[in-house]
Amino acid sequence: MVFLNGRFLPIEEASVPVLDRGFIFGDGVYELVPVYSLVPFRLDEHLARLERSLAEARIRNPHSRTQWRDIIYRLVDGQPFEDQGVYFQVTRGVAKRDHSFPKGVEPTVFMMANPLVTPPRELVENGAAAVTAQDNRWLRCDIKSISLIGNCLLRQLSAEAGAAETILFRDGRLTEASASNVFAVKRGMILTPPKNNLILPGITYDVVTELAQANGLPLELRDVAEQEVRAADEIWVTSSSKEVLAIVSLDGRQVGDGRPGPLFARMYQLYQEFKQKVMRAGKREAVSA
Ligand SMILES: Cc1ncc(COP(=O)(O)O)c(C=O)c1O
C-alpha cells in the first residue's frame, strides 16, 4: 500500500500524469525517514526539513505537520514489516510544460514504505571503500531536491569502482558524499563541514554531532581541507540508511590502519544505543541525545 494525493492504494494502481512537473523538470522535493520497529526516527526533524525544502523551492506545502504525521503513521502501520524506509516526495504538480510556475495547481504527494536496508554486519565491522570526485552539483545542495542527476552521476563513479560512496570536494574543501554526509577524524578530533548551501543538512549528521557533544567527544564544525581528509585517521559517512559507516579505503589507499577506528566504534555504539532509546520511548515521543 502506498499513498498518493490523499488516498492509500496498492502501488500497481498508483500513477501520475506524464505532465507532472516532477517527471518533466524534476521539480519537487523529498524525504526519507527510517523507521525502527514501527517507530519513525527523528520524524519531526525530517518534517521540519521537508517544510524548509518546500519553502526554499517555493512549492506550497499541502499538509500541516499533524497531517503529515498521521499519513506517515497510517502508512507505517499498514506494512507487514517493522523496519522501514518511508520515502515521500512533493512535486509542484501537473501543468502544461512551461518553466515558470503554473497557477492554481495542486502539489502531487506520493509516499511509500519499503523494508529498511542498513549496511550488513560485515560492512559495519570491516568498513567500506570510497572514491573521491569534484563536487560539480548546483549551489543549493541544502534543498532535498528530487533532481538528483548530479548525485546519480557521482554515485555511479563509486559503483563502477566497487565502492560504497563518492566523497566530494569543492574548491579544495570537503562538502559531503553523493548520498551521505562525511566526517573525518584526526588525532582524536572529529571534523565535519558546517551546514551551508553546499551540503544537505543531514538528520543523521545532527544525531552524530549531538551524540559527540553529549558524550564529550571532541568535535569541530569547520571547513575541512581535501588534504585533511586524505590524511585522516578515520573517515565516516552518515545517512538515514547507512547510519554511521566507516570508510577504510579512499581512492584505493588505506585510511588510517585500514580498519574502522576507535572513535567510529564508539560513535556506532552510541548511535545504536540512541536508536534503542527512541524505540523504547515509542513513536509519539521526541528524544534528545
Ligand atoms: C546528498 C546527501 N547528503 C546527505 C544525506 C544524509 O541525510 P540524512 O542523514 O538526513 O539521511 C543524504 C541522504 O540521502 C544525501 O542524499
Question: How many alpha carbons fall within 13 Å on the CB side of residue 173?
Answer: 11
Is there an atom of ligand 1 within 6 Å of 179 CB? yes
Ligand 1, atom 4: nearest CA belongs to which residue?
180
* pLDDT above 70 as % of the chain: 98
In this prediction, residues 239-257 reach a mean pLDDT of 98
In this prediction, residues 182-210 reach a mean pLDDT of 98
What's the gap in Å between 202 CA and the centre of ligand 1?
5
Residue entry with cell 564508539: 266
Asked about 144 being catalytic, the answer comes back as yes
Taking the CA atoms of the chain, what radius of gyration do you get in angstroms?
Answer: 19
What's the gap in Å between 104 CA and the centre of ligand 1?
32
Ligand 1, atom 7: nearest CA belongs to which residue?
202
Residue entry with cell 516526495: 89
Looking at the predicted structure, is the pLDDT value of residue 172 above 70? Answer: yes
| CA dihedral sign of residues 284, 209, 51, 12 | negative
The whole-model pTM stands at 0.97
What the block records as the C-alpha cell of 37 is 520497529
- The 3-state secondary structure of 119-172 reads CCHHHHHHCEEEEEEECCCCCCCCCCECCCHHHHHHHHHHHHCCCCEEEEEECC
Ligand 1, atom 2: nearest CA belongs to which residue?
179
Cβ neighbours of residue 60 under 8 Å, at least 6 residues apart?
Answer: 54, 107
Backbone angles phi, psi at 263, to 5 degrees: -70, -35
Residue entry with cell 551540503: 199
How confident is the model over 83-118, as pLDDT tens digits?
999 999 999 999 999 999 999 999 999 999 999 999
Per-residue pLDDT band for 282 (boundaries 50, 70, 90) equals confident
pLDDT of residue 20: 99
Backbone angles phi, psi at 239, to 5 degrees: -165, 170
Tell me how far apart the alpha carbons of residues 266 and 71 are, in angstroms, rounded to a whole number: 36
Q: Tell me if residue 180 falls in helix, strand or coil.
A: strand
10 Å Cβ neighbour count for 43?
25
Looking at the predicted structure, is the pLDDT value of residue 287 above 80? Answer: no
pLDDT of residue 75: 98
Looking at the predicted structure, is the pLDDT value of residue 204 above 90? Answer: yes
How confident is the model over 8-17, as pLDDT tens digits?
999 999 999 9
Is there an atom of ligand 1 within 6 Å of 240 CB? yes
Mutational pocket test of ligand 1: of 88, 151, 200, 245, the residue with most ligand atoms within 8 Å of the beta carbon: 200
In this prediction, residues 212-229 reach a mean pLDDT of 98
Q: What is the mean pLDDT of the chain?
A: 97
CB 132 within 8 A of CB 166: yes
Is there an atom of ligand 1 within 6 Å of 176 CB? yes
- How far from 92 is each of 9, 145, 194, CA to CA, in Å? 22, 12, 30
| CA dihedral sign of residues 73, 202, 268, 215 | negative
In this prediction, residues 127-131 reach a mean pLDDT of 98
pLDDT of residue 288: 67
pLDDT of residue 248: 99
pLDDT of residue 286: 59
Is there an atom of ligand 1 within 6 Å of 31 CB? no
What's the gap in Å between 88 CA and the centre of ligand 1?
14
Is there an atom of ligand 1 within 6 Å of 53 CB? no
Is there an atom of ligand 1 within 6 Å of 113 CB? no
Per-residue pLDDT band for 48 (boundaries 50, 70, 90) equals very high
Q: Which of 96, 103, 144, 186 is catalytic?
A: 144
pLDDT of residue 69: 97
Count of all residues that appear for the chain in the document: 289
Ligand 1, atom 1: nearest CA belongs to which residue?
179
In this prediction, residues 139-157 reach a mean pLDDT of 98
In this prediction, residues 44-66 reach a mean pLDDT of 98
In this prediction, residues 162-191 reach a mean pLDDT of 99
Q: In ligand 1, which atom is closest to the CA atom of 181? A: 4
